[in-house]
Amino acid sequence: MTARREITKKCPRQYAKAGNSDKGAGAQNCASQASGCAGGPAKSRSSTWRERRDDVSVDEQVNETIDWTEVQDAYGSAEAVPGLLDQAAGLPSDAGVWNDLWSRLCHQGTVYQASFLAIPALGEMARVTPPMPHSQALNLLAAIAGSTDVSGTPDTRVRYADVLASCLPAAEAYAAAAADDTDFCYALSVVAGLRGERAWHQVLTFLADGTVPGGCPECGEDLCVFLDTIPARVCLSWVEPPDGPELVLAKADTIEGYAQGMLVMAGRHSRGNVTHRLLALLGDGQCPACERPLSRGSLFGLGVDDAQEGPSKRR
Ligand SMILES: [Zn+2]
């Protein structure tokens, strides 16, 4: 597996990790097989979500009747999805239901037609969930919005920009309630996903671990950056101790764009270690393979392309 593939395939279910009533879903193996995720007991095409979606002030376009039997999820027909959404709304702590939803709607980071159509329902759940880390609805919503791997369907996420934006206060509450730096990084990832900053969304999930895979934009070599070592280093392998060239931290007052907002957010919440990781991520280094310079997150694909494609930029 290449480093770049790992970036796009890191299972977002890691967000919902142990430590809360939803932990069961997060603890599940992301490599669920179709046979084990055949959907919940609810099979009816008649969805209360269809009936509830009268929140036209959020996005009138999404208030439409959906024939879920004609919609595809990771396993084929998405007929079970509306029933699972209803179950999740009725009992948010039901780990099994969330496991099914993750498997069907964001399977190892890949999203489908049903994933997009589920955004309004997940948004409604995310908005009403009390501020707490690991909200399944919020994390799944952000994972769908932040996915860089769309399978078999046009990317219609721009239609739901208002729904996603309406969940940003919940994401801010998530950040404020973060128990530690790892949780805070996941909260940053959720914010990035909701804002359509997809490259950032992917990288921030790794930032939580302090070790981020990337690739040299010049020679294409798979690289790995260790952010928490002193100094931070860019290496050819994940094997510790890291022995690649040193990364010189970026200066905070030179950071602009989306990264600047994250630095501000980390500062507002007194997350000094996260600030350090971000500055290392955006620092200057050298490719250990071709020895060409690396800077400003170029080895992670952080650049104008993703920013221009994000829903928040299209509006
Ligand atoms: Zn190189």
Give residue 140's domain range: 13-180
pLDDT over 90 at 43, yes or no: no
Tens of pLDDT, residues 134-166: 689 999 999 999 999 999 999 999 999 999 999
Give the span between the Cα atoms of 12 and 223, in whole angstroms.
21
- Spacing, Cα 162 to ligand 1 middle (Å): 40
Contacts for 64 with CB less than 8 Å, ≥ 6 apart: none
- Spacing, Cα 188 to ligand 1 middle (Å): 29
- CA 186, 189, 191: angle at the middle one, nearest 5? 115
Same domain, 129 and 275: no
E strand intervals along 210-262: 211-215, 222-226, 233-235
Distances (CA, A) of 107 to 13, 112, 116, 133, 294: 9, 9, 13, 22, 32
pLDDT over 60 at 313, yes or no: no
Same domain, 61 and 118: yes
Q: For the chain, what is the mean pLDDT?
A: 79
Query: Could you give the 3-state DSSP secondary structure of residue 215?
Result: strand
Same domain, 229 and 173: no
Tell me, yes or no, whether 3 lies in a domain.
no
| pLDDT confidence of residue 130 | 65
Q: Provide the CB-side half-sphere exposure for 35 (13 A, CA).
A: 0
The pTM of the full predicted model, rounded to 2 decimals, is 0.77
Buried b (16+ CB within 10 A) or exposed e, 28-50: bebebeeeebebbebeeeebebb
Q: Which of 90, 5, 6 is nearest to 41 (CA)?
A: 90
Tell me, yes or no, whether 8 lies in a domain.
no
pLDDT over 90 at 59, yes or no: no
Q: Which of 189, 173, 161, 87 is nearest to 126 (CA)?
A: 173
Give the span between the Cα atoms of 102 and 36, in whole angstroms.
12
Sheet of 222-226: strand order equals: 211-215, 222-226, 233-235
Please give all residues whose CB falls under 5 A of ion ligand 1, grouped by chain where several chains appear.
Answer: 216, 218-219, 221, 287, 289-290
- Spacing, Cα 297 to ligand 1 middle (Å): 14
Tell me, yes or no, whether 187 lies in a domain.
no
Tell me phi and psi for residue 224, to 5 degrees: -140, 130
- Spacing, Cα 286 to ligand 1 middle (Å): 8
- Spacing, Cα 150 to ligand 1 middle (Å): 28
Give the span between the Cα atoms of 263 and 85, in whole angstroms.
35
Tell me, yes or no, whether 206 lies in a domain.
no
- Spacing, Cα 234 to ligand 1 middle (Å): 11
Tell me, yes or no, whether 190 lies in a domain.
no
- Spacing, Cα 78 to ligand 1 middle (Å): 43
Question: For the chain, how many residues are written?
Answer: 315
- Spacing, Cα 80 to ligand 1 middle (Å): 46
pLDDT over 80 at 86, yes or no: yes
Count how many domains the chain has: 2
| pLDDT confidence of residue 191 | 95
Tell me, yes or no, whether 111 lies in a domain.
yes
Averaged pLDDT, 5-33: 35
Query: Could you give the 3-state DSSP secondary structure of residue 111?
Result: strand
Residue with token string 């739901």: 160
- Spacing, Cα 257 to ligand 1 middle (Å): 26
Tell me, yes or no, whether 189 lies in a domain.
no
Same domain, 160 and 228: no
pLDDT over 90 at 101, yes or no: yes
Tell me, yes or no, whether 1 lies in a domain.
no
Query: Could you give the 3-state DSSP secondary structure of residue 214?
Result: strand
